[in-house]
Amino acid sequence: MFQYSGKSLFSQVNESLKVAFFAVSFIAAFVFQNPFHQAVLLAFLIALLFIARYRDFAKLFGSLIPFLLLADLSFFIFLSDTSLNLVQLTLSSNLRIFSLFAATAFFTFSTDIFALVRLMKRIHLPETLYLSIYILFRFLPELERDLYEIRSIQRIKGISPKQPVRYVKSVMIPLLFTALQKSDDIAVAYFLRQRREQ
């Protein structure tokens, strides 16, 4: 879902243009308040993904739906006493999250992380910034694989999205522990590298 493909039609485009496009997409997702404008942005990003030969749409958006439904339900439970238009709020927040995920998928699918790190070194960004972006790019595909494995294991146990609260708890807790373990390993490796360079 969030993995680079050299077969993308946009993989040969200059990384600085892709970074600029990514930043503009994120800003637009937050600036647009009207659900129609957000829907147009999402349609544009999906069209770009399709042109780039991205094919994991079901994974990209399907995995978000249970979490968004839970968030929408909490909006209606906790904000029902306010004067907010909850339908517009939930629609707007859902479209915004879908747009953010689509922009991230497009960026990671069409951007080689090593070329991105070279660009960041060339413009003299601090190592902590480009190292954290590199780790994030390397970390997301692993997290995605872990999520797929955890969901498969829960399916074998008979836990499905038909039981949303139990499903979210059964998926998110193991995923959180896996992410913490991997981040701990990365932190130790970085610390040892820094010690060796001193």
DSSP 53: T
pLDDT of residue 4: 66
When divided into structural domains, the chain yields a total of: 2
Same domain, 160 and 93: no
Determine whether 3 is exposed, middle or buried from the number of CB atoms within 10 Å of its CB (0-12, 13-18, 19+). Answer: middle
pLDDT of residue 95: 92
Same domain, 86 and 147: no
Specify the higher pLDDT residue, 67 or 198. 67
Total residues belonging to the chain = 198
Across the range 9-37, mean pLDDT stands at: 88
- At residue 55, what are phi and psi to the nearest 5 degrees? -125, 5
Taken in order 173, 134, 137, 16, is the CA torsion positive or negative?
A: positive
Reduce the DSSP state of residue 94 to 3 states and report it: helix
The domain boundary residue, chosen from 79, 111, 143: 111
Averaged pLDDT of the chain: 83
pLDDT of residue 1: 53
Same domain, 85 and 131: no
The domain boundary residue, chosen from 70, 86, 111: 111
Cβ-proximal residues to 66 (8 Å cutoff; 6+ apart), any chain: 161, 164, 167, 168
Domain membership of residue 131 as a residue range = 124-198
Predicted confidence (pLDDT) at residue 37 exceeds the cutoff of 90: yes
pLDDT of residue 117: 80
pLDDT band at 96 (very low <50, low <70, confident <90, very high): very high
Predicted confidence (pLDDT) at residue 2 exceeds the cutoff of 70: no
107, part of any domain: yes
Same domain, 105 and 150: no
42, part of any domain: yes
Predicted confidence (pLDDT) at residue 118 exceeds the cutoff of 70: yes
